[in-house]
Structure 1
Amino acid sequence: MSIELHRHGDIHEIRLARPPVNALTPELLSALRAAVQAAPAEGARGIVLTGGSKVFSGGMDVPHLMGLDRASLKAGWATLFAAARALADSRVPVVAAIGGHSPAGGCVLALCCDYRIMARGPFRIGLNEVQVGLVAPDAIQHLMRRVVGTYRAERLLVAGSLVESEQAQAIGLVDELTDAEHVLARALHWLEELLKLPSAAMLASRQVARTDMIAALEAFSDDHLDGFIEDWYAPGTQAALQALVARLKK
């Protein structure tokens, strides 16, 4: 199983369940997309997205991707954008309960949620694609800009920075911190309070407020993905990715 589904009344928990670090594969991302889209019809009024106790998600499974041919690689990356769009365009609110580290693709998923609660401690989050020779597409950069502001997003993205939880909260990258064992409970509480509001007005306001994010992700076209794949195969990027795979094997 790449995901687990748990029900807390009318709030559904979708848990990334691919130990040890919930590295994202096309199969996991497709399952996540399907679960998010199916949840409202199954009675969910809200969703909590959770991961591991030390790592929410380590991002895309680079060793797996390195073994794919070009067509499969493109299809694999497309599943990340499809899962991101499903979260951004969810008919019900989604909270990211971030129990640990959340770099790269893990951060992308969290940024598409309505609210982010992170475990307090030496856990890091951010879009660090530059560190492996990749450029986060504008649709992904938009997600960062909308929560931390244009200039701060530029600094973080250009450096490929990962920031610890206290700084992440200070700059608005996450909304609140709590002890690791309370992350899920706080996420459920936040949703429970939100769901006490008049439903039609809350959901309509949410839809208007998220229009920019949904539009940015929907504007990410097949041509943009082709350009990203070309960058993947650039010699410098391949060298950085090979070095990353070697580190992961140690």
Structure 2
Amino acid sequence: MKMLCPCFLFLLFILFFQAVSKIFSAGLDITEMSGKSNEHYAAFWRAVQEMWLKLYGSNMVTIAAINGSSPAGGCLMALCCDYRIMADNPKFAIGLNETQLGIVAPFWFKDTMINTIGNRATELSLQLGQMYPAPEALKFGLVDKLVPEDKVQSAAAAAMSQWLSVPDHARQLTKSMMRKPAIDRLVKQREADINNFVSFISKDSIQKSLQIYMDRLKQKK
């Protein structure tokens, strides 16, 4: 049996990440940030950091096949990839909408978005907690291409073939050169970032905001 290229295996992980119909990723689990101990919050945030460091810093080619809405952490995962293809459906939206939940995107979320769409667009997006429908996401550069819903996976596979045609050592070095400053910044401030998160998320006012948001979600079901 012919072995798949590791890069293509990673593509498959992205393609089949969808767990809920019409949602690529609902983002971070809010229940992990509500009503827990400080030790739990610290362990949770360290795991989120590790996910970002591995995905954003991966030397493999990563293609996000976005087949549904992608808020907050889901948007971050997509932004970590080298190329983003989204289903051309205005009902699907993507963005870092943390302020709508009463929380703040950390500096490395911000850096990832700035590296993708620029400073001013990121400032507007983060302050307003904007979720961009697919056509607007393409306009702002949050995604690179829109295709019909039933073509997302095949388009991602075609894009992967194009990326893999580039000499890998040159591509890897270029990717590292572009992303290393942002990665190094988190690595140097990792413990401080965890402490800041725990201090912020454990505040009564923040816990209240998260509970209100979760109650609203339950009412929609």
With normalisation by structure 2, the TM-score equals 0.88
Give the corresponding residue for 1:85.
Answer: 53
1:144 to 98, 113, 126: 113
Give the corresponding residue for 2:68.
Answer: 100
Superposition deviation, residue 138 in structure 1: 1.0
User: In the alignment, does 2:198 pair up with 1:229?
Assistant: yes
- In the alignment of these two chains, the number of paired residues is 213
Give the corresponding residue for 2:79.
Answer: 111
Larger mean CA deviation between 139-148 and 64-73 belongs to: 64-73
User: In the alignment, does 2:172 pair up with 1:172?
Assistant: no
1:201 to 154, 170, 184: 170
- Superposed CA RMSD in Å reads 2.0
Indicate if the aligned counterparts of 1:103 and 1:128 stay in contact, CA closer than 8 A. Answer: yes
Give the corresponding residue for 1:51.
Answer: 17
Q: In structure 2, do the counterparts of structure 1 residues 206 and 13 end up closer, same or farther at CA, with 3 Å as the change threshold?
A: closer
Give the corresponding residue for 1:12.
Answer: 9
Paired with 1:229 and 1:15, the residues of 2 have a C-alpha distance of 34
Superposition deviation, residue 116 in structure 1: 1.0
Indicate if the aligned counterparts of 1:51 and 1:99 stay in contact, CA closer than 8 A. Answer: no
Paired with 2:55 and 2:30, the residues of 1 have a C-alpha distance of 22
Indicate if the aligned counterparts of 1:110 and 1:116 stay in contact, CA closer than 8 A. Answer: yes
Paired with 1:177 and 1:145, the residues of 2 have a C-alpha distance of 21
> Is the partner of 1:210 in helix, strand or coil?
helix
Q: In structure 2, do the counterparts of structure 1 residues 114 and 213 end up closer, same or farther at CA, with 3 Å as the change threshold?
A: farther
Paired with 1:8 and 1:104, the residues of 2 have a C-alpha distance of 35
Cα deviations by residue, 1:43-101 (Å, 9 ceiling, x for unpaired): xxxxx454325111101111243243210121112211110110111121111111111
> Is the partner of 1:57 in helix, strand or coil?
coil
Indicate if the aligned counterparts of 1:119 and 1:165 stay in contact, CA closer than 8 A. Answer: yes
> Is the partner of 1:68 in helix, strand or coil?
coil
Q: In structure 2, do the counterparts of structure 1 residues 92 and 164 end up closer, same or farther at CA, with 3 Å as the change threshold?
A: same
Indicate if the aligned counterparts of 1:58 and 1:106 stay in contact, CA closer than 8 A. Answer: yes
Indicate if the aligned counterparts of 2:66 and 2:87 stay in contact, CA closer than 8 A. Answer: yes
More RCO (CA 8 Å, sep 6+)? 2
Indicate if the aligned counterparts of 2:15 and 2:153 stay in contact, CA closer than 8 A. Answer: no
Q: In structure 2, do the counterparts of structure 1 residues 64 and 211 end up closer, same or farther at CA, with 3 Å as the change threshold?
A: closer
Paired with 2:167 and 2:155, the residues of 1 have a C-alpha distance of 21
Superposition deviation, residue 206 in structure 1: 2.2
Cα deviations by residue, 1:198-238 (Å, 9 ceiling, x for unpaired): 22222222222222332243244211221122111223212
Q: Could you tell me the percent identity over the aligned residues?
A: 32
Indicate if the aligned counterparts of 2:79 and 2:113 stay in contact, CA closer than 8 A. Answer: yes
Q: In structure 2, do the counterparts of structure 1 residues 148 and 221 end up closer, same or farther at CA, with 3 Å as the change threshold?
A: same
Paired with 2:85 and 2:30, the residues of 1 have a C-alpha distance of 26
Paired with 1:204 and 1:107, the residues of 2 have a C-alpha distance of 25
Mark the runs of 5 or more structure 2 residues left unpaired by the alignment. Answer: none
Indicate if the aligned counterparts of 1:94 and 1:115 stay in contact, CA closer than 8 A. Answer: yes
